Amino acid sequence: MAANHDSSDSTLRAALEANGHRFTEQRAAVYRFLAHTNIHPTADEVFLNVRSNVPGISLATVYKSLETLVGCGLATRLSYSDGCARYDGRTDPHHHARCLACGSVSDIPGHLPDRYLQDLHARSGSFRVIGYRLELTGYCVACAPGLDVGVPRTSA
Ligand SMILES: [Zn+2]
Ligand SMILES: [Zn+2]
C-alpha cells in the first residue's frame, strides 16, 4: 500500500501547507484512515484505529488533527444535536442515511436536481443560502432486520 500512502500523503501535504499547517505523521495517520473508510467515524473511533500505527498518539491529538483536516477542506464534520460528531473523508457530493438506533451513517451517492434546490431557495425569503445538507433518518438493516423487504412471515 506504499503507493496509496504516497498519493494520499502528497494530497495532505499540499492542503496542509496551503493552509499554513505542517505535515506531521500524526495528521497523516488520521488522514489515511479517514480517506479509506466509509464508516464516518467519531474521534474516538479514529483514535482506536490509528493508535496501533502511531505509538504515543493521544485522543486530543486525533481530535485536533481531524479539525485541521476539516479546516483544510479534506474532511467534513457531521454534528448532531446530541453533541456527537462524526468525520467524513469523502468530500464529493453525497447524502447521508443515519440510523436512529445505532447512530451509524452511510453514504447515498449523488445529489438533488438543481431545480429542487432553486425551489427551496425561492421559499427561503431573505435567508442567504450557500449550501444544503440532506440526511435521511431511519433504521439500518442491522437494527431493523424485520423491516427488510421480502422477509417471510410465519404465523404462530
Ligand atoms: Zn443501526
Ligand atoms: Zn459521507
- What ligand is nearest to the CA atom of residue 75? 2
Query: Does the residue 53 lie in any domain?
Result: yes
| Ligand nearest to the CA of residue 109, numbered in listed order | 2
Print the domain residue range for 40: 1-91
Q: What is the pLDDT of residues 80-136, one digit of tens each?
A: 877 789 999 998 889 999 999 999 999 998 888 888 888 888 898 999 888 788 899
DSSP string, 62-126: HHHHHHHHHHTTS-EEEE-TTS-EEEE---SSEEEEEETTT--EEEEES---HHHHHHHHHTSTT
At position 93, the amino acid (one-letter code) is: P
C-alpha–C-alpha distance, residues 109 and 107, integer Å:
6
In a domain? residue 156: no
* Tens digit of each residue's pLDDT (9 = 90 or more) over 12-34: 999 999 999 999 999 999 999 99
The answer to whether position 137 is within a domain reads: yes
Cα 101 to averaged position of ligand 1 atoms, centre (Å): 5
Reading the block at residue 5, the C-alpha cell is 500512502
Q: Cα(98) to centroid of ligand 1, in Å?
A: 8
At residue 1 the predicted structure's pLDDT band, cuts being 50, 70 and 90, is very low
Q: Is 140 left (phi over 0), alpha (psi -120 to 50) or beta?
A: beta
Find the 96 Cα to ligand 2 centroid distance in Å.
Answer: 6
Rounded distance from Cα 140 to ligand 1 centre (Å)? 4
Domain CATH code at residue 45:
1.10.10.10
Q: For residues 14 and 66, state if they share a domain.
A: yes
pLDDT confidence of residue 51: 96
Looking at the structure, tell me whether residues 81 and 98 fall in a common domain: no
Does one domain contain both 64 and 129? no
Nearest ligand for residue 137 CA: 1
What pLDDT is stored for residue 2 in this prediction?
46
Query: Is residue 24 helix, strand or coil?
Result: coil
